[in-house]
Amino acid sequence: MTPSEYRDALAAIGLTQARAAELLGVNPRTSRRWALGESPIPQAVARLMAMMQADTESGSRFAPISEGRLGRTRR
């Protein structure tokens, strides 16, 4: 995942870099460094972002992240 793809995924999911850092358990500076291309984005983070972005774009099966919940909604 490139820094641009990371930023695009965050925008599609509705996360700020700071909120993403909080959910991923990293320092906000780490998320900023990923977004700027100053540090490589770990493969696990890239996969998670891609999955969340795909889910959001296909019908938003993930619970609203702005509510502080990171998980699937019940159907």
Q: CB neighbours of 75 closer than 8 A, spacing ≥ 6?
A: 61
More confident residue, 57 or 62: 57
Q: Model pTM?
A: 0.74
What is the average per-residue pLDDT within 62-74? 49
State the Cα–Cα distance between residues 20 and 73, nearest whole angstrom.
19
Tokens 């990371």, residue? Answer: 6
Q: Please determine, for residue 50, whether its predicted confidence score (pLDDT) is greater than 80.
A: yes
The DSSP letter of residue 50 is: H
Amino acid symbol at 47: R
Give 5-42 pLDDT, tens digit per residue. 999 999 999 999 999 999 999 999 999 999 999 999 99
3-state helix, strand, coil in the chain (%, to 5): 60, 5, 35
